[in-house]
Structure 1
Amino acid sequence: MTAVALPRSVAARITVRGLATAQRVIAATGAFLAGAVVVDVLAARGLVAQAPLVVAPYLGMGLLALLLLWRPGRLTAVGYIAGGAVLAVAAPVLLLAADPAAADAGPYLLNRVATAVCLVGAVSGRALSGVLWSSAAYIVAELSLQLGLMLAGSSGPSGTGPVIIFAISFVTYATLALAQRQSDRQFRSLSRVADEVLGADRRRALEHRAAGIVHDTVLADLALISRSPGPLTPRAREVLTEHLRIVADSTVAEPSTAPAAGSVLGDALLELAAEYQWSGLRVDVSGAELISDEVPGATRHAVLGAARAALDNVVRHAGTDRAELVAGVRGGALTVLIVDDGHGFAPTEVAEDRLGLRMSINERIEQVGGSVRVWSGPEGTTIMMTVPVPGGES
């Protein structure tokens, strides 16, 4: 069974999206609980008749959080913040209109909706997205809360709930962003070290080959000459001439026209990524330089064709300007992933006459004994192509 290590870029996206999901769950739960507390307070004061209207902003905020949790994306995030702004204004106005004494217990119930707005979370898989969206949500939430308190005629404090939630979100996402940036730097450094190690290994292999040539030719020829009692025979002269030619043509230097590290397929993947800059798509590549030259021609052409088709789909349908191509060899299998943070789609709902996924990707890979897996949703798409290759790591 082939084990594929999770690419660092995919792992980072999963971490950021997991954090954003947790924030939205907290926002929905907090809004509904705050609504329940409002009903309980009003009931204790004999104001049950006003409860449905007063609790509406809290329930509305909870529903917005559930919508964002169900369909995360830029459009729903904008709707979440805009709708939350309106509800953050309405919550203190309606609560204080029904029960002016509610402010005496502190600002907790007054700022619950604004606090939930600050839990919008990251929209894409990048930590920087969480920093930007959290900052925008906090500004809108704080301004809306202050407007609501002003309209309600309250002179009390607005509370620290929104700023605390914003500070926690900001610091967490900023820390993740710095960690991802540092990880990228370390990965580039490790890649350079790996290139140097591979180069040293190749040089040692060439030196061993040169030593073998000397052993098999020069030493053998010297032994032949020492054993010859007289002039060399014409056949012996031919052998010596051939051996001299082999030694003259041999070298321990690496070909100057070849890259320091890489392969036919690895170089082709890098060139493929570079082509798409003219389409407005930036493709970040990692792992291509570590692919060996042992990938068969048919497999190489299938992988390149499928990768091109996947990137074409990103350009045409994903609605994003960035994608990642991650390659690696493990367990006798070559794996190539195409990752984007675009709109996503439902693979099971692709029409039969849409040949891009079914023929350009699936059939190409299956024809060389490989397989394709697709994960897609509102936060992006990941296509993983796996093909068997000789000489893979076990």
Structure 2
Amino acid sequence: MSIGLPAHLRKESVTRAFARVINAVAFVCLTLAFVGVVTLYASDTSRNLVPAAIALIPMLITVRLLNRYRTMFFTVAHLLIGGPATYWFALTIISQLRPVGVVGHYLLDLVLIAMMFVGGAGRNVVWSILWCTVGVAVSQASVALASLQIQGFVHPHPTVFVIYVAAISVLMILRLSQRGVRRVQSHLHRAARDDEFASLRYGIEATSAAVMHDTVLSHLAAIAHAPFGAMNPKLQRDISRDLEVLVGEEWLSEAALDSSDSVRHDWQNSALLATITEARALELVVEVTGDLTALSRLDSRGDAALAPAVKQCLVNVINHSGTMRAEVAIFGSPSEVSVLVVDAGKGFNEAETGADRLGLRQSVRRRIETVSGTVQVWSTPGLGTSVMIRVPTAENAPALERSAAQ
């Protein structure tokens, strides 16, 4: 029960659960004793059992307070009040039921058990054992004193001692089991930490691979296809800007963005609009349709992953589709934001894509997977390509990550 709890809460939670149980047992025992005394008095009013019933009332009150507050004050109060109350109860029962008989011993045993189960201020198993022992001592002394005063001898109560031994055994088993739980819990915490590190490492690796493709590999391909002579000034500026990004490790901070970030990005301030603007600067005609306000449902992490993925899709249109027209359609739902990039170019067969073509694999798929999103590609040679990118909204992203971790 306590394996999954933090170490600083495990002992307290187990002890608190045990305290609740034994306080409940004590309250039930006192209630049964009260009902038994009232029943005996109703059957034979010549026996003055009213003082015994009255003696149980303060004990019932202290047990209820002890169950609610479980402090040292109420624990000691229960013992200080319960000792004289037990003595008065035993004095009345022994004096009015002669011989005491089975019924009398049954009523006395109930009160003795209630006094033994003191589960208030036990901060750990050792304290619980101590308070149970003190409760047994106080209750036995009270009954013994009443028995000596009325009968002149002390009658043993073996049932109480049997229950006491059973309670102590349960407490010792709990103490021993906590040691095993401590060892198991350390392994569980280590495994959870390793899994968290592995997830973080995967996100950084996926982002680094995508950034490498978007910057270095893309620029190398542009240089390879550039005409002989001086480098295009715009390409020079793009390379310088991307080098600053790589050296400054901005991509690393982007990979570590918290998915619970409350920052929202509307259409005018979104990275997706900046991406489409860059594509249009490259003479690609991009038509934007759909629900532009849906982007405000993304958190910073989702917005940071979506824009580069769409950028790579538009770059693929420019470099490989044979057309300079594309459409970007945006859809929104309470659980996700979808962006569809469509072109009517020459298309391709994704299964036959060469191993050196990393755009869809690194810049799109793996980047979107790091934010628990999905990517679907439909392409037919001669008929064009459609890429559907789905990213969970800020409210749905934490739930997706928890289910994925489980």
Q: TM-score, normalised by structure 1?
A: 0.51
Q: Is contact 1:34–1:112 with CA below 8 Å preserved after alignment? A: no
- AA of the residue aligned to 2:116: C
Distance (Å, rounded) in 2 between the aligned partners of 1:76 and 1:85: 14
Equivalent residue number for residue 294 of structure 1: 260
By how many angstroms is 1:200 displaced? 1.5
By how many angstroms is 1:146 displaced? 2.5
State whether structure 2 residue 202 is matched by structure 1 residue 193.
no
Structure 2: runs of 5 or more not aligned:
264-297, 299-393, 401-406
- The DSSP-based 3-state class of the residue aligned with 1:205 is helix
Distance (Å, rounded) in 2 between the aligned partners of 1:132 and 1:250: 60
By how many angstroms is 1:204 displaced? 1.6
Distance (Å, rounded) in 2 between the aligned partners of 1:159 and 1:109: 11
Q: Where does 1:1-394 land on structure 2 (aligned, <5 Å)?
A: 15-16=17-18, 18-36=20-38, 39=41, 43=44, 49=46, 51-52=47-48, 54=49, 56-69=51-64, 72-73=68-69, 74=71, 75-98=73-96, 100-102=98-100, 107-122=105-120, 130-155=128-153, 157-173=155-171, 175=173, 186-233=184-231, 235=233, 236-250=235-249, 292=258, 294-296=260-262, 391-393=397-399
> What whole-Å deviation, never above 9, does each CA across 1:145-176 have from its counterpart, x for those lacking one?
23333333443532123223333444445555
Q: In structure 2, do the counterparts of structure 1 residues 93 and 64 end up closer, same or farther at CA, with 3 Å as the change threshold?
A: closer
- The DSSP-based 3-state class of the residue aligned with 2:99 is helix
Distance (Å, rounded) in 1 between the aligned partners of 2:175 and 2:395: 36
- Give the stretch that moved more between structures: 16-25 or 194-203: 16-25
Structure 1: runs of 5 or more not aligned:
1-5, 256-261, 264-291, 298-331, 333-387
State how many pairs are aligned: 259
Distance (Å, rounded) in 1 between the aligned partners of 2:23 and 2:102: 34
By how many angstroms is 1:202 displaced? 1.6
Percent identity, aligned pairs only, is 17
> What whole-Å deviation, never above 9, does each CA across 1:235-274 have from its counterpart, x for those lacking one?
144444444444444499x89xxxxxx99xxxxxxxxxxx
- AA of the residue aligned to 1:101: P
- The DSSP-based 3-state class of the residue aligned with 1:167 is helix
Distance (Å, rounded) in 2 between the aligned partners of 1:232 and 1:251: 30
> What whole-Å deviation, never above 9, does each CA across 1:180-231 have from its counterpart, x for those lacking one?
6765665554333222212221222111222122222222233233334423
Q: In structure 2, do the counterparts of structure 1 residues 109 and 249 end up closer, same or farther at CA, with 3 Å as the change threshold?
A: closer
Q: Is contact 2:56–2:85 with CA below 8 Å preserved after alignment? A: yes
Distance (Å, rounded) in 2 between the aligned partners of 1:221 and 1:104: 97
Distance (Å, rounded) in 1 between the aligned partners of 2:190 and 2:210: 30
Q: In structure 2, do the counterparts of structure 1 residues 163 and 295 end up closer, same or farther at CA, with 3 Å as the change threshold?
A: farther
- AA of the residue aligned to 1:294: S
> What whole-Å deviation, never above 9, does each CA across 1:319-373 have from its counterpart, x for those lacking one?
xxxxxxxxxxxxx9xxxxxxxxxxxxxxxxxxxxxxxxxxxxxxxxxxxxxxxxx
Q: TM-score, normalised by structure 2?
A: 0.50
Q: In structure 2, do the counterparts of structure 1 residues 121 and 23 end up closer, same or farther at CA, with 3 Å as the change threshold?
A: farther
> What whole-Å deviation, never above 9, does each CA across 1:255-308 have from its counterpart, x for those lacking one?
9xxxxxx99xxxxxxxxxxxxxxxxxxxxxxxxxxxx562438xxxxxxxxxxx
By how many angstroms is 1:62 displaced? 4.8
